[in-house]
Structure 1
Amino acid sequence: MVSVDYDIGIVGAGLAGLTTAIQLRKKGYSVVLFEKNGFPFHRVCGEYISVESWDYLLDCGIDLADMQLPIIKKLQVSSLNGTLLTADLDLGGFGISRYKIDGLLALKAREIGVEVRDNCKISGMQRLSDHYRIEASDDEVRVQLAIGSFGKRSNIDVQWRRSFLARKLNNLNNHIGIKYHIKADFPDDIIALHNFKDGYCGISKIEEEQYCMCYLTTAANLQQSGGIKEMERQFLYQNKYLKQLFEQSEFCYSQPLSISQVSFDNKEPVFAGTPLIGDACGMITPLCGNGMSMAMHSGKLLTVLVDRYIQQQISLDEMLGLYTDQWRKQFAARLHVGRIVQARFGKVWQTDLFVSLLKKMPVLTNAIVKRTHGRGF
């Protein structure tokens, strides 16, 4: 076998990439982690993490209990006609900004010996006969195993010609995301999803008496409006709860964060002979319960198998096959339910009917919540 620079190379340092790097380093492997941005930085994200990942983050060295984070136990959903559904979240979640949690994980990774190369863009990643090659902006790195943890439509996706890039535009693959941090008169223990035409907006508390307000809508809404502020007045303000939030809250930064070409189409957990985790193997709709926990969970599944592979207990192809099977068993049904719900949210009459029906049938509401929230891992 050719000599390698590291045992593991991970491309993309979101929650999946960071936690997987930490777990593999804890097992004694040399790990290099690439991130195109510089830590710490903000991401467009709902910033609500379900409790299913609490113990895993503790095991990664993040002392959540000492941070006095808001614990979220209730869900509210509103339709455009003003119907408001409130339901208990049996599992629940906690609020923390990506700026804070990603920054803490990056510090922890460096502290235990992961080589974190931020501000480093990757131009290529390739499986060869007996190793992987990762082409960085100013270097070429050889690793025994490469893991893809990139999001959205990365240049690696383009290079690989992944099929989801060529799919026709539909209600799952042409969204934009907008995020604000605000100070608002809003309960600490509630996550709310307020619907508007062709979109929905979530709000929940994070650290330092701030709230994350993040919404998804179609690119067509933005094009029709001509700008973000105009779009908010034209579409989001039609929901009375959102209008109140926008008019009565204090916005913590002058311009929102935004992301375009957001896709929730199906993707593969393994592509080009490379295992993928987090958003790289399927952009997770917010209505699946919690994409951040699912992203970290995918990394945990892979970590166990990577350890077996490097210890020569299984072959590389056996590892990739087992990971594909376990990923589908763990997440396929949850993603399917989330996409069904996603397809109905934002359609005015369907959302009005759907929320009204759920309000009258708490058993159905609880069933959907259970199907879209996992268990501790």
Structure 2
Amino acid sequence: MHFKSDILIIGGGLAGLTAALHLHKAGLDVILIEKNAYPNHKVCGEYISNEVLPYLKWLGVDVESLNPTHINKLHLTTQSGKSTYTNLPLGGFGISRFTLDNYLYQLLLNRGVKVFLESVTDVQFDEELFTVKTTNNITFTANQVIGAYGKRSSLDIKLDRPFIKKKAPFLAIKAHYNGVFPDDIVALHNFKGGYCGVSKVEDDKINICYLADYETFKKHKNIESYQQYVLMKNKVLKDILERSELLFETPITISQLSFGAKEAVTNHVLMVGDAAGLIHPLCGNGMAMAFHGAKIVSETLIAYLNGDIKSRAKLEKKYTKIWNKTFNSRLKTGSILSSLLQREILTDFLINVITKMPWLLKQIIKRTHGKPLLGND
């Protein structure tokens, strides 16, 4: 079986789904391939900065119909008991990936975009044409391929991406809970070897998602033991966990998380979302970056296909330049903060400084968030 398209998108997370909506709106023939059936849960902080709302409205995405929580405050605590609050300049909203991804998927189907639930096994580029194969022996050809397949994939091995060869010291764990937690707060709680994000999503559920150092984690028998003897050393986090009831059969995890440098273009595939670069969860803005990245890749491809960008080489150079200009500062800030928050003494020092100089935390937030995205700028 064989299918052709102008643009093929590998991966149906936020970045892939959004790029498909944008490119289809521009009148292009788009096919999206996603390996997992919808809806499904993903390891994610599930907080989104309001910077994306104008763009989503332009795409015809009605976020309010999903009943998100509205968040306008950040609460930061340390294991030693230091604590500070600040207002979020733009604010944000909480929505689960289970709900949001499925909503965007249904939107694509309603608009006539072809979506294949398949696993990609091979991507080849020859004579200005991509050939993509899946496990069910379906072959696709396309003029352009977007890689939106997430943090870590067998395709990264196939494409010989440098980061995939390096060991990554982190894993992330996430679950939804019933319990008592303010609707308007996203919290970041530090513990030895990691940090935990807590916020509300739709249907009054609490999302608890944390990043852990694998060396610390492997000393414990299981997630329950790790939470009891490590996370609960933070008394605020202990209180939240003890008063909450797990809604999942078991928390979901992802390991070998790499926050090192990735390439925006590999073997002529334009990477987007976590496939292009993963921001530390403590920045709380990975979902907004996925939307922003989808906008960038879509607008750049539209300019190329309209003849405004004269060659594939110039397309790839321009996309890389825009991606780096937009996100490199955010990624570097996230990396620095991660290094600080893994050191208890430095974390306490940072919180002390922030408590005395609240404007500093606002500057950190500003450096990890963007300006409102307009759909037609």
* Counterpart secondary structure, 2:68: coil
- The CA deviation at 1:61 is 2.5
Matched-pair contact (CA < 8 Å) for 1:4–1:131:
no
In structure 2, what is the Cα distance between the partners aligned to 1:304 and 1:254? Answer: 41
Matched-pair contact (CA < 8 Å) for 2:174–2:251:
yes
* Counterpart secondary structure, 1:87: strand
Matched-pair contact (CA < 8 Å) for 1:13–1:35:
yes
* Counterpart secondary structure, 1:225: coil
Matched-pair contact (CA < 8 Å) for 2:171–2:257:
yes
In structure 1, what is the Cα distance between the partners aligned to 2:281 and 2:318? Answer: 27
Residue 78 of structure 1 aligns with an amino acid whose one-letter code is T
> Matches of residues 88-99 of structure 1 in structure 2 within 5 Å?
88-99=87-98
Matched-pair contact (CA < 8 Å) for 2:188–2:282:
no
> Matches of residues 20-35 of structure 1 in structure 2 within 5 Å?
20-35=19-34
TM-score by length of 2: 0.95
Residue 26 of structure 1 aligns with an amino acid whose one-letter code is K
Aligned to 1:142: 141
Aligned to 1:79: 78
Q: What RMSD in Å do the two structures reach over aligned CA positions? A: 1.4
Aligned to 1:240: 235
Aligned to 1:37: 36
In structure 2, what is the Cα distance between the partners aligned to 1:81 and 1:363? Answer: 23
Show CA shifts across 1:292-346 (max 9, x none).
1111111111111111222233221111111111111111111111111011113
> Matches of residues 217-366 of structure 1 in structure 2 within 5 Å?
217-314=212-309, 315-366=311-362
Matched-pair contact (CA < 8 Å) for 1:77–1:86:
yes
Matched-pair contact (CA < 8 Å) for 1:31–1:115:
yes
TM-score by length of 1: 0.95
In structure 1, what is the Cα distance between the partners aligned to 2:302 and 2:125? Answer: 18
In structure 2, what is the Cα distance between the partners aligned to 1:279 and 1:202? Answer: 18
* Counterpart secondary structure, 2:132: strand
Residue 344 of structure 2 aligns with an amino acid whose one-letter code is V
In structure 1, what is the Cα distance between the partners aligned to 2:226 and 2:353? Answer: 29
Residue 347 of structure 1 aligns with an amino acid whose one-letter code is R
Residue 281 of structure 1 aligns with an amino acid whose one-letter code is A
**Runs of 5+ consecutive residues of structure 1 not aligned to the other structure:** none
Show CA shifts across 1:93-146 (max 9, x none).
10000000000000001111211112x110111222121111111211101111
Matched-pair contact (CA < 8 Å) for 2:211–2:281:
no
Residue 120 of structure 2 aligns with an amino acid whose one-letter code is I
Matched-pair contact (CA < 8 Å) for 1:289–1:369:
no
In structure 1, what is the Cα distance between the partners aligned to 2:341 and 2:127? Answer: 46
* Counterpart secondary structure, 2:149: coil
Show CA shifts across 1:185-226 (max 9, x none).
111100000000001111111000111111110111221112
- The CA deviation at 1:368 is 0.9
* Counterpart secondary structure, 2:80: coil
Q: Which of 179, 187, 192 is the equivalent residue of 1:192?
A: 187
- The CA deviation at 1:29 is 1.2
Matched-pair contact (CA < 8 Å) for 1:334–1:372:
yes
Percent identity among equivalent residues?
39
Q: How many residues align?
A: 370
Residue 298 of structure 1 aligns with an amino acid whose one-letter code is G
In structure 2, what is the Cα distance between the partners aligned to 1:200 and 1:288? Answer: 11
Relative to structure 2, which stretch is displaced further, 286-295 or 6-15?
286-295
- The CA deviation at 1:4 is 7.2
Matched-pair contact (CA < 8 Å) for 2:48–2:284:
no
In structure 1, what is the Cα distance between the partners aligned to 2:98 and 2:58? Answer: 20
> Matches of residues 132-171 of structure 1 in structure 2 within 5 Å?
132-138=130-136, 139-167=138-166, 169=167
* Counterpart secondary structure, 2:218: helix
In structure 2, what is the Cα distance between the partners aligned to 1:79 and 1:306? Answer: 44
Residue 135 of structure 1 aligns with an amino acid whose one-letter code is K
Aligned to 2:62: 63
Residue 257 of structure 1 aligns with an amino acid whose one-letter code is I
Show CA shifts across 1:142-175 (max 9, x none).
01111100112211101122111223x4xxx321
Change (3 A) 1:348 1:185: same
- The CA deviation at 1:289 is 4.1
